[in-house]
Amino acid sequence: MAIEISNRLGLANVKSDFIHTAGRKLEDIHERLLELEAKGEVKVIHIKEENKPIEAETLLGWKKKIPTNKLWHHKSCGQCGNIPGYPVSLLWFMNQMGIEYVDERNQTSCTAWNYHGSGTSNPVGLAAVAVRNWHRAYELGLFPLFHCATTFGDYKEMRNLLVENKELRDEVRRIMHKIGRDLVIPEYIVHYSEWVHVMRFEIAKLKKYDLSSVIATVHPACHTYKMIPEDCIYDKDIYAGKRTAVSTGVMLALGAQVADYSTWYDCCGFGFRHILTEREASRSFVMDRKIRPMVREAHSDVCITQDTGCTTTLDKNQWIGKAMGYTEQVPVMADVMFAALVCGADVFKIVQLQWHTTDWRPLCEKIGIDWKKSEQEYNAYLEELKAGGKTVNLYEYPKS
């Protein structure tokens, strides 16, 4: 049977003056948070001038300040565990731009991947873990930047629950006092992709390669824009403000073509528990609902993600598709990894694509990146390290 292929480019660039109201009558939690602060109920981590904020617009037209400096990196279990180029690319950009930040050992997982997979926690546990990590940023005088979309979604939810429920605040405050901390809540919950989005024109200034022939398909992460949707960035110049603007925005700024595909709204199939213990569901979803539409409808050269679980699921589950006769393959990487790649970051030492399972080499060759040279240098570097050589780090964390 013939496959109908329509290369639907251009929707990403559609502009509109329409402001979403969508019939939703929602309170701006930010205002209520400041009221609680005025009453002395909570402490707030404010975004200050020194954080050099850039303002963005969210789904309902509310303003959200995105801090761009003096940041505390709240890392992701899955990124650090199996996609190390994800956080490294972000730190690489911050070094390029002279951004001040801290990356340290004094951080726990948000524990929300586990919660959504197994149910083995509760709102008090989730909120207490959130406040514990927020307080660590607060005591360092920094603003927390969350790397994982599930952390972002969970922390947005926990912030809302804490603002709306005195009982929860009291219980979390009691636990915080027990561990020598206090109830603090950030003025805004900020995802790294929002930092990338507001910095996209600065990022584009570092571009080294022409991307006009590269077709990207964007997979927006569910927990960025489906959990507490009113607190996610939309832009009237990107998809006419009808889809979240993050990730697509930086791809357009870099000069890539962003192509539409029919299942853009679908999740990746991660399922939190399914990706680990019920993988036949995840891999079927990946191929049937995401990768095949991206390749067959849009001729995608690269799938751009903005989250830990999505990057893992979409990358790791393509090989097994061959068992069903599926030949479609597309490399998968986060927006910040792709941006670093085209801004001259080393393929192996910084973007760390060697950990990915779906072949990314044809993409590098299409862009004009010499990955073979990078591989040779990396292998030589590994030999140096084996012989007792020292790692060349992007950052040294505080020893105390």
Partner 1 sequence: MEYDENGVSIVPADLKKEIFEEARKDFRYEEYVRGCLNCGVCTGGCPPHRFFDFSPRIVLQKMKSKDPELIWTMMDEYVWACFQCFTCAMICPFLNSPGGVIAILREIAVRRGFESAKKVLKPYSRVLLKLTAYGNQLSPDMIQPDFFPDWGPHIGYASTDLSVKRKAIPMPTLQVTNLAWDVAPETMKELYDIFDEAGVFKIIESVDPSLYEIIQDIVDDVRSS
Interface with partner 1, residue 362, by CB under 8 A:
no
* Part in contact with partner 1 (CB under 8 A); list of ranges 7-15, 102-110, 192-200, 207-215: 102-110
Q: Is the dihedral of CA 306, 257, 286, 236 positive or negative?
A: positive
Residue 340 vs residues 67, 110, 226, 234, 250: alpha-carbon distances, Å = 20, 26, 27, 23, 11
- Residue 200 or 349: which CB sits closer to partner 1? 349
Q: How many Å separate Cα 351 from the centre of its chain?
A: 15
Residue span 33-72 as binding mask against partner 1, x where in contact by CB under 8 A, dash where not = ----------------------------------------
Tokens coding 363: 């993409």
Candidates 78, 144, 249, 331: give the one binding partner 1 (CB under 8 A): 78
- Residues 363-392 interacting with partner 1 (rule: CB under 8 A): 378, 381-382, 385-386, 391-392
Question: Beta-strand (E) ranges in 255-365?
Answer: 257-258, 302-305, 332-334
Among 165, 299, 328, 344, binds partner 1 (CB under 8 A): 165
Give whichever of 53 and 269 is closer to partner 1, judged by the CB atom.
269
Does 273 bind partner 1 (CB under 8 A)? Our answer is yes
282 closest CA partner among 335, 325, 318: 318
Is 393 a binder of partner 1 (CB under 8 A)?
yes
Task: Specify the stretch interacting with partner 1 by CB under 8 A; choose among 5-13, 28-36, 212-220, 315-323.
Answer: 315-323
Binding test (CB under 8 A) with partner 1, winner from 43, 46, 207, 274: 274
* Smallest gap from residue 305 Cβ to partner 1 (A): 14
Under rule CB under 8 A, residue 74 binds partner 1 = no
Starting at the edge strand found earlier in the chain, the sheet holding 332-334 runs 257-258, 215-218, 302-305, 332-334
The residue from 13, 99, 101, 121 that contacts partner 1 (CB under 8 A) is 121
Please name which of 165, 199, 209, 203 lies closest in space to residue 183, comparing C-alpha atoms. 165
Told to check if 191 binds partner 1 by CB under 8 A, we report no
Report in angstroms how near the CB of residue 11 gets to partner 1 at its nearest.
Answer: 19
In the complex, the smallest distance separating the C-beta of residue 24 from partner 1, rounded to whole angstroms, is: 7
State the nearest-atom distance from the C-beta of 101 to partner 1, in Å. Answer: 11
Helix (H) or strand (E) holding 185: strand 184-186
Q: Cβ distance 366 to 360 under 8 Å?
A: no
Which residue in the block uniquely carries the two structure tokens 């049977």? 1
Burial class (CB in 10 A: 0-12, 13-18, 19+), 400: exposed
Instruction: Kindly state whether residue 326 participates in binding partner 1, applying the rule CB under 8 A.
Output: no
Instruction: CB nearer to partner 1: give 157 or 252.
Output: 157
Is 89 one of the binding residues for partner 1 (CB under 8 A)?
Answer: no
- Smallest distance from partner 1 to CB 224, Å: 11
When asked if residue 272 is in the footprint of partner 1 (CB under 8 A), the reply is yes
Binding to partner 1 in span 332-351, by CB under 8 A: 349-350
Chosen residue from 1, 40, 98, 105 binding partner 1 by CB under 8 A: 105
Residue of 44, 168, 204, 240 that binds partner 1 (CB under 8 A):
168
- Residue 352 and residue 338 in contact, taking contact as beta carbons nearer than 8 Å: no
Query: Of 53, 186, 220, 269, which one interacts with partner 1 (CB under 8 A)?
Result: 269
Please count the CA atoms within 13 angstroms of the CA of 251 that sit on its side-chain side.
Answer: 32
Chain centroid, CA 357 distance in Å:
20
124 near partner 1, rule: CB under 8 A:
yes
State in angstroms the smallest separation of the CB of 325 from partner 1: 16
d(CA 270, CA 267): 8
Give yes or no for a contact between 30 and 188, defined as CB atoms under 8 angstroms apart: yes
Question: What is the separation, in whole angstroms, between the first and last Cα of the chain?
Answer: 65
CB-based contacts of 108, cutoff 8 Å, min separation 6: 129, 132, 133
* Nearest-angstrom CA–CA distance, 210 and 194: 24
Q: Binding to partner 1 (CB under 8 A): which residues in 226-255?
A: 226-227, 229
CB of 359 to partner 1, least distance (A): 9
